[in-house]
Copies of this chain bind each other. A is one copy, B any other.
Amino acid sequence: MTYAVKSTLPDADLKTVGEALQGELVDLVDLSLVAKQIHWNVIGPRFRSIHLQLDDVVATARSYSDTVAERASALGLPPDGRSSTVAATSAIERVAEGWQKDTDAVRTMVKALEATIGGARERMRSVGEPDPVTEDIFIQLTADLEKHHWMFQAENGS
């Protein structure tokens, strides 16, 4: 790896932070694609409600994927968000193709959000010492993902 952009962190810290950012980038890009997939394929009596709610998830995922990738660049690490990399390394399980009943759609989103939150929480812990600036980004994105997580759980609550 050439250092076209000089980092403000020492090399050991940079490795830890770089892996966390790259892993998170892939999960967030995939989350945005999964949410769009269900946005287009959901059916059932709650169609409109969930169709709209999913676009809120897309907005969150797109916005943080940009923040995370540009944080990597700011630290001198070229981010990788290509479709082949996303398909090969995402922590989110491949979702079913075709129409999805609204109840299933909600369950699928709860699982996808759980996978994303799990990774984010681990990375948040690992970067706290080497780089509090990156930690702060993970804290904020976890807060927003957990809010979506609650809302989808509440949808199927009883």
Contacts and interface: CB of A to CB of B under 8 A. Distances in A.
A118 B9 CA distance: 11
A44 B154 contact: yes
A12 interface: no
Main secondary structure of the interface of A (DSSP, over half): helix
28 contacts: A1-B98, A2-B98, A4-B43, A5-B150, A5-B157, A8-B121, A8-B149, A33-B86, A36-B65, A40-B73, A44-B154, A44-B155, A45-B103, A46-B49, A51-B151, A51-B154, A71-B143, A71-B147, A73-B150, A74-B149, A75-B150, A78-B97, A80-B97, A87-B88, A99-B157, A101-B157, A133-B143, A133-B146
